[in-house]
Amino acid sequence: MAQQILKLSEVKLITALSGSTIYRLISQGDFPKQIKLSERSSGWLQSEVEQWLQERIDASRDDALAMIKTAAKKEVLPATKLIKGI
């Protein structure tokens, strides 16, 4: 299977990140490193960028689910009980 190469402009569109943010994340080890295509050209493997994005989506959904579970464990008084207490 042939690997698709993405240029920086495409990576920025897919991730909605700026170029400086992408390079900062790379330096922190939090984004796939680009591959050197020639002396003055580099790109990213589409599969790696898509995997990174899916991991962000999964982590975001896991965080949201954890927040919902935490909120569900707390006792919340219905609005009618709050009004009656006034």
- pLDDT tens digits, 35-53: 999 999 999 999 999 999 9
Q: Is the pLDDT of residue 72 over 90?
A: no
Other beta carbons less than 10 A from residue 58's beta carbon: 10
Other beta carbons less than 10 A from residue 79's beta carbon: 8
Rounded Cα distance between 7 and 22, Å, is 12
- CB–CB of 53/47 below 8 Å? no
Output the six-digit token pair for 58.
């999964």
pTM over 0.75: no
